[in-house]
Structure 1
Amino acid sequence: MTGEWVIDAFGARWSLGTGSLTAAEGERLRQLWSRCRVADASTGDDGVLPFPVSTGNPYAVSRAVTLASLRRRRGSAVLLHAVGLSEGDRAVALVGASGAGKSTAAATLGRHFGYVSDETVAVEPDGRVSPYPKPVSVVTDPRAPWDKHELSPDELGLREVTGTAYLRGVAVLERDPAHEVPELVEVPLVDGLLAVIAQSSALPLVERPLHRLAALVSESGGPFVLRYREIGDCVEIVRDLLAGSTDRERTPWTSTPGAPLPVRSRLAPGSGPRAPRDVGGIGPGMQVERAPWVDAVHGEGGTLVLVGESQVRLGPVGEVVWDRADRPLTVAEAQAAVVKALGTHPDAERLVTEGVAAMLASGVLRLSR
C-alpha cells in the first residue's frame, strides 16, 4: 500500500501505516478497506490519527480498527453491535451477539440493500448513521469460529450506501432452526431495551442514554425481534422495515433524567453502584430514597433504571416505590403508597418489604442520610 491511505470507521478517521507489511499484504488491505477510504483526506488533516499496522492478518487488523474506533466514539454516538442496512435515507440495525450470524446476515442482505456494516452501527445525535462498510469477517471453519477470513464488500457483491441514512428501525436477531416462516415480532419496550443494551458499547456515556435508545428502538413500531431459520428468507421483511411499511404508533413511554456519567469515565469493572452496607432487618420506620441514577425509561414491560453502568428493571411494586422515593420515605409509607396504587393484598407488607430490600441490594435505592 503506497501513498496516503485514510479510512473512516463510523466517524473515526485513521491513517493506516503499512510500512512493516509486504507489498502483497498492503495491496490486500487496500482492496479490503476500499469502501472505507476517504480519497481526499491525508495524514495531517484534523481528526486523522495514525494507525500503524503491524500484522498482515486482515482479521486482526479489522478487530484492531473496530476496537480503537469504539474507544474514540464512546459517548458521542450510540454504538450498536449490529448489521447495518440502508435504502435511500432510511437505515435499520439488526442487533446480534457474537455468534448470532451477523456476518452471514450482512453478506446475504447486503446484496439487496445498502451495506452499512457487519459489525458496528453508530447513530449520531440527529439519528444519522455513520457508515462502516468494512471487510466482512467470515467463519471458514465452524470448529475454529475465532479464525475468520476477510472478504471485501465488492468481492461479496454488496450494494453501496447512497447518501445519508437515518436509523428508522431496530430488530434483534433470533435464529431458530425450527422457525420455518420468518416473522418480525413486536416486543415490550423494556424487553427490547435490555436486549439491545446487551449489544451496545459505552451506552451510559451518551447523553440521556435510555431515553435516546428508547426513541431509536421504538421507531417504525418497534422494538422488534426478527425470528427466522435462514436469513435469506428475511429479505422482504427487511424491505418492509426499510420502506416504512411497519410504521405505527406503539404505547407511549416516558423517561426521568438523572445525573450523567462523566465522559472521562472508563466504565471499568466495579464502576457501577457499590453494594449497600448491611442494613440488617428492614423495619417500617426505615427511611429510603432514590440512589443517584443516570436515566430511567417507563413503558411497556415496566421501568428500566440505569444506575452507573447497571440496568435495573422494576415491576409494578418497584415502580410505585421508586416514584415516591424522589424524597425520603419510610418503608411503611412505601407500603401505603403501593396499596393505594395497586390495591390491597394479603401479603402487601411482606411483598413491599422484600421489594425495598431488593432495590437496596441492586443500588436503585439507598438509605436516607
Structure 2
Amino acid sequence: MNEDYVIDAFGARWSLDTRELDAGARERLHVLWERCRVRGLGARDVGVEPFLVTDSDPYAVSREITLASLRRRRGSAVLLHAAGVSRGDRAIALVGQSGAGKSTASRVLGRHFGYLSDETVAIEEDGRVAPYPKPVSVITDPAAPWDKGEWSPDELGLRKASEPAYLTGLVVLERDPGRTVPELVELPLVDAMLAVIAQSSSLPLLDRPLHRLAELASGSGGPYLLRYSEIGDCVELLGALLDPDAAGSRSERHPWTSTPPVPNSPDGLIVRAPWRDAVHGDGGTLVLIDETPVRLGPVGEVLWRVAAAPMSRDAAYAAVVAALGEHPDAARAVDDGIATLIELGLLHAPTAP
C-alpha cells in the first residue's frame, strides 16, 4: 500500500503501517479491512494514530487492533464484547454466553441485517453504535478453537449497515442444541446487567456506569434472552426488534441517590460504605463497589437501603421484619446479612466484632 491506509475501529482511527509485510500479506489485509477504511484521511490527520503491523497472521492482527482500540476508547463509550446488527437507524447487540457464538451469529444475521461487528459493540453517550465491520473471525478447526481464520464482510456476503444506528435492543444469547423452537423473552434487568457486565470492557471507568448500562439494556421493552438452537431460526424474532414500530415499555428501574460516606460510625451502628453506583429494577438491586458489581438478596437489599444514615442493629432488624415479615430465623438472617455486607464492603461498622 503506497498511500496511507486509515481504518476506523469503533471510533479509534489508525494508520496501518504494513512495510514489514510482504506484498501478498499487505494485499490480503487490504481486502479484509476495506469496510473499516476511511478514505480521504492520512496518517498525519487529527485523531489518527500509527499502528505498526508486524504479524502476517490476519487473526493476530485483528486481535491487536481490537485490543489497542479498546484501550483508546476506555472510559468514553460503553464497550461490549458482543455482535451487532442493524436495520436503518436501529441496532441490537447480541451478548454471547458460553457456547453461544457471536461470530456465527454475525455471519448468519449479517446476510439479513446490516453488519456492525462480530465482537465489539461500542455505544456512544447518545446511544449511537460506533460501527466496527471488521473481518469476521471463524474457527476453522473445532479441535483448535483459538486458531481462527479471517474473512471480510464482503467475502461472506454481509450487508452494509446504515449510519448512524442507535442501540434499541440488548439480547443475551443462550444456545441450546436440544431446543426445537427459538424463544425471545424479556430478561429481568439485573440478570441481564450481570450477564452484560461479564462481557464488557472498562465499564467502571464511565460516569454512573450502572445507570448508563440500565438505560441501554432496557430499550424497546428489553432486555431480552434469546434461547435457540440455530441462530438462522431467529431472523424473524430479531427482525421484530429492529422494526421501526417496535417500541415496548422499558423495564422498571429506580436509581439510588448517592450520599457522602460517613467516615466514622458511632459504636454499635452500621452505615453504608462508599459506593460507585447502584440500580434497583426487575431482579433486585445491583451495587457497584469500586469495580465489582454486587447483587443484593432480599435481606441485604433492605439493610443497604435503610443504612443510608447510621442506624443501630436493632433498628436494622426492625426494618427487615417490617419489609419482609416475621420469621423464626429473622435475627440470625439479619446478623448474617450485616456480616456479609460488611465483608463485601457495602456496610461500614468500625467497632463491629
Report if the CA contact (8 A) 1:289-1:368 is conserved. Answer: no
Report if the CA contact (8 A) 2:90-2:166 is conserved. Answer: yes
1:50 aligned residue: 50
| TM-score normalised per structure 2 | 0.94
Report the alpha carbon displacement of residue 46 of structure 1 after superposing the two structures with TM. 1.0
State whether structure 2 residue 323 is matched by structure 1 residue 341. yes
Report if the CA contact (8 A) 1:289-1:365 is conserved. Answer: yes
1:282 aligned residue: none
2:348 aligned residue: 366
1:153 aligned residue: 153
Report the alpha carbon displacement of residue 363 of structure 1 after superposing the two structures with TM. 1.3
2:286 aligned residue: 304
SS state of the match for residue 336, structure 1?
helix
Report if the CA contact (8 A) 1:95-1:196 is conserved. Answer: yes
1:191 aligned residue: 191
After superposition, give the CA deviation of every residue in 1:307-353 in whole Å (9 maximum; x if it has no partner). Answer: 01111111221111111111112222211111122222222111111
After superposition, give the CA deviation of every residue in 1:166-199 in whole Å (9 maximum; x if it has no partner). Answer: 0000001111011110111111111111111111
Bigger CA drift: 247-256 or 129-138? 247-256
Aligned equivalents of 1:142 and 1:185: distance in 2? 30
SS state of the match for residue 159, structure 2?
coil
- Any stretches of 5+ residues in structure 2 without a counterpart? 260-266
Report the alpha carbon displacement of residue 286 of structure 1 after superposing the two structures with TM. 2.8
Report if the CA contact (8 A) 2:118-2:134 is conserved. Answer: yes
State whether structure 2 residue 311 is matched by structure 1 residue 329. yes
RMSD, aligned CA: 1.4
2:127 aligned residue: 127
State whether structure 2 residue 272 is matched by structure 1 residue 290. yes
1:115 aligned residue: 115
After superposition, give the CA deviation of every residue in 1:259-297 in whole Å (9 maximum; x if it has no partner). Answer: 9xxxxxxxxxxxxxxxxxxxxxxxxx7322111111100
Report the AA paired with residue 52 of structure 2.
Answer: P
Q: Aligned residue pairs: how many?
A: 344
Aligned equivalents of 1:178 and 1:97: distance in 2? 17
2:60 aligned residue: 60
Cα distance 1:257–1:28, how it changes in 2: closer, same or farther (>3 A)? farther
Aligned equivalents of 2:98 and 2:328: distance in 1? 46
Cα distance 1:97–1:54, how it changes in 2: closer, same or farther (>3 A)? farther
1:262 aligned residue: none
Cα distance 1:73–1:84, how it changes in 2: closer, same or farther (>3 A)? same
Report if the CA contact (8 A) 1:208-1:257 is conserved. Answer: no
Bigger CA drift: 323-332 or 74-83? 323-332
- Any stretches of 5+ residues in structure 1 without a counterpart? 260-284
Aligned equivalents of 2:107 and 2:298: distance in 1? 43
Aligned equivalents of 1:137 and 1:17: distance in 2? 22
1:218 aligned residue: 218
Mapping 1:68-217, distance limit 5 Å: 68-97=68-97, 99-217=99-217
SS state of the match for residue 67, structure 1?
helix
After superposition, give the CA deviation of every residue in 1:247-269 in whole Å (9 maximum; x if it has no partner). Answer: 3224421112549xxxxxxxxxx
Report the AA paired with residue 327 of structure 1.
Answer: A
Report the AA paired with residue 13 of structure 2.
Answer: R
2:262 aligned residue: none
SS state of the match for residue 243, structure 1?
coil
Aligned equivalents of 2:257 and 2:142: distance in 1? 45
| TM-score normalised per structure 1 | 0.90
